[in-house]
Structure 1
Amino acid sequence: MLPHRYVFVGGLHRSGTSLVARIIAGLPGIAAIRNAPVPENEGVYLQGAIPHTARHGAPMHFATDPAQHHVEGSPYDKRATRDRMEADWAPFFGAGSWRVEKSPVNLTRMRLYQQLFPLSQFVVVIRHPEAVAGAVAKWVDGAPGDLIDHWIAAHEILATDLPFLHNVVVLRYEDLVARPMDWRAALAAFLGVPAEDTVPEDIADRNGNYLGHATLTRAQAQACAAWGYGPGMEVMPYAPQIRHSLNETRGAIRATLGWAAST
């Protein structure tokens, strides 16, 4: 058995995954990848067990590429994959009972990672599709409506994967920036570590920077309503999806947030 556990953070590019990973890394007993010679300290670039290039992880493309949807029983579902990942990551992690690894592509690898690291847990970060489309426009070509369609398709895949996971939290960027202290405490409860009293950086809602860049059509709005998103950057009430194998942990997260949550 490994002497540490992993919490994998994933989500579409520009959804807030880096912010969430930094918050988790600031909790007691959490080791993180720091000062690595790769973009955003993303572990996916540091391992050679599963091929990863710019094409594999292209923003607004990877999540709907069937070849990037790694699940149990795939060719990478074997001990050798886990051992290679462990060896490749080891030089970049410090000591800690938990290791937080953030890569956007984790969004479509959670089922495989759960097989490789059975005690791992997952945090998925989602953000209003209009904001995501606006934020990634500087990187990718494509009409805003097409980028929103990709967001919808990616989250439909997410919805089908969630029932296979034992321990996962789906966290909206908008809820995090509205209640950063509560969500920091909730993430601590999810991992079973003490919460800290401060948030290490200024957390502000930057969705307004992209208002008007793209607007959901009626059909798109119907698809996004399940996640609590509407046209014009509207954010509607949403019960966070929380899965954990222990009732006590689920209860602690609910108590911290003061919300009823799905199991």
Structure 2
Amino acid sequence: MDPRYVFVGGLHRSGTTLMADCLEAHPAVRGLPPSLAPEGEGVFFQGAIPHDALAGVPGEWAEDPAMHMVEGGPWDRPEVAGRLRADWDRWYPKGGSWRVEKSPVNLLRARLYQQLLPASQFVFVVRHPVASARATAKWSARGEAALLRHWAHAHSVWAGDVPRLHNWMVVRLEDLCADPRRELARLFAFLRLDPVPPPRAVRADPNADYLGDGTPVDELARSFGYGPDGIAGPSEWRGRHWFRDVREAVE
């Protein structure tokens, strides 16, 4: 049986690389070589869907309508699916039951990939919007207000997509850092794999340098359990799976 794909998506500086590293630590999971493209992102290892230097710009990309890709759109064609498989096959190590493909743009591309690569699963990593904006400022010339609008827009579009996805889960970066074993137990249950330890130590509070001034958050951020200065409660967004035992482990 060919390996299945688990796609990791989320805005830049939200923890997608850490998530991919955690997945690749499992012996049943294969990843792309990080030394050949930025952060080993799969969009750079394929030519089926154009991804030039103006695509995927940190703090900006989700505002481009062309970055939202869904079933029935211009890329939903058998030849695109075939080119994706062929291009990625050249780079993934052999073996394993899962291939992890991590690219920030996967946040708004899941519906298309679900159509092109059936039985794929999706892991979305989210981070407090203010911390995300302030961390992204190191990579962007945009101001904080614009970066916060980008966070809100990206996750608003995403929230409209997930009801159409069969198999998805959300991991807050803050939870992954505070209790990695618990979150990795959820993650590997989602893939029906036995859990493995985190591959490296992580800072328990990834937002310590960015929060504390009480900047308010919007309703969408609150639905993820965020308050002005960090985690304020549980997230309304946990996940879904077409098998009950997996769904219960993720939720």
* Residues 148, 216 of structure 1: 8 Å contact kept: no
In 2, distance between residues paired with 1:14 and 1:191?
24
Contact 2:111 2:164 in 1 (8 A): yes
Map of 1:14 onto structure 2? 13
In structure 1, what residue type is equivalent to 2:107?
L
| CA–CA separation in structure 1 for the residues paired with 2:103 and 2:150 | 18
* Aligned counterpart, 2:101: 101
CA–CA distance in 2 between the matches of 1:113 and 1:180? 28
RMSD: 1.6
Q: 1:199 to 1:234 in 2, by over 3 A?
A: closer
Deviation string for 1:113-166 (max 9, x for gaps)? 000011100000000011111111111122212211111111111110000000
- State the Cα deviation string for residues 7-66 of structure 1 (Å, max 9, x = none): 000000000000011111112311111244110000101100000012111111111211
Q: Which residue of 1 aligns with 2:208?
A: 208
Letter of the structure 1 residue corresponding to residue 185 of structure 2: A
Residue identity opposite 1:102 in structure 2: K
TM normalised by structure 2 equals 0.94
Uncovered stretches (5+) of structure 1, i.e. residues with no partner: 255-260
1:207 is paired with a residue of what secondary structure? Answer: coil
Name the structure 2 match of 1:41: 40
In the other structure, the counterpart of 1:233 is: 230
- Which residue does 1:258 correspond to in 2? none
- SS of 2:209's partner is helix
Distance between the aligned counterparts of 1:91 and 1:223, measured in 2?
40
Q: Distance in 2 between matches of 1:224 and 1:194?
A: 32
What aligned pairs does 1:110-189 form with structure 2 within 5 A after superposition? 110-189=110-189
Structure 1 residue ranges (4+ consecutive) displaced by more than 6 angstroms after TM superposition: none
Q: What amino acid is the match of 2:60?
A: H
Give TM-score, length-normalised by structure 1: 0.90
Letter in 2 for 1:19: L
In the alignment, the residues of structure 2 paired with residue 63 and residue 126 of structure 1 have an alpha-carbon distance, to the nearest angstrom, of 14
Gaps of 5+ in 2: none
Query: Does structure 1 residue 222 correspond to structure 2 residue 219?
Result: yes
**CA 1:35–1:133: 2 relative to 1, 3 Å:** closer
Q: Please say if residues 25 and 32 of structure 1, whose CA atoms lie closer than 8 Å, have aligned partners that are also in contact.
A: yes
- Separation (CA, whole Å) in 1 of partners of 2:218 and 2:110: 27
Name the CA distance, whole Å, in 2 between partners of 1:184 and 1:90.
27
Match of 2:25 in 1: 26
Match of 1:257 in 2: none
CA positional deviation for 1:182:
1.1
CA contact (8 A) 2:156 2:220 kept: no
Question: What SS does the corresponding residue of 1:211 show, helix, strand or coil?
Answer: coil
Q: 1:194 to 1:223 in 2, by over 3 A?
A: closer
Q: Which residue of 2 aligns with 1:58?
A: 57
One of 241, 244, 248 as aligned partner of 1:244: 241
Percent of aligned pairs sharing the same letter? 46
SS at match of 1:101: strand
How many residues matched?
A: 249
1:186-231 superposed Cα distances (whole Å, 9 cap, x missing partner): 11110011112x221011122112236x8634xx433421111121
Amino acid at match of 2:127: R
Confirm or deny: 8 A CA contact 2:34 2:41 kept in the other structure: no
Question: 149-158 vs 102-111, which deviates more?
Answer: 149-158
Mean Cα deviation higher: 23-32 or 40-49: 23-32
8 Å CA contact retained: 1:6, 1:121: yes
Alignment check: 8 A CA contact 1:221 1:229 kept: no
- In structure 1, what is the Cα distance between the partners aligned to 2:129 and 2:200? 24
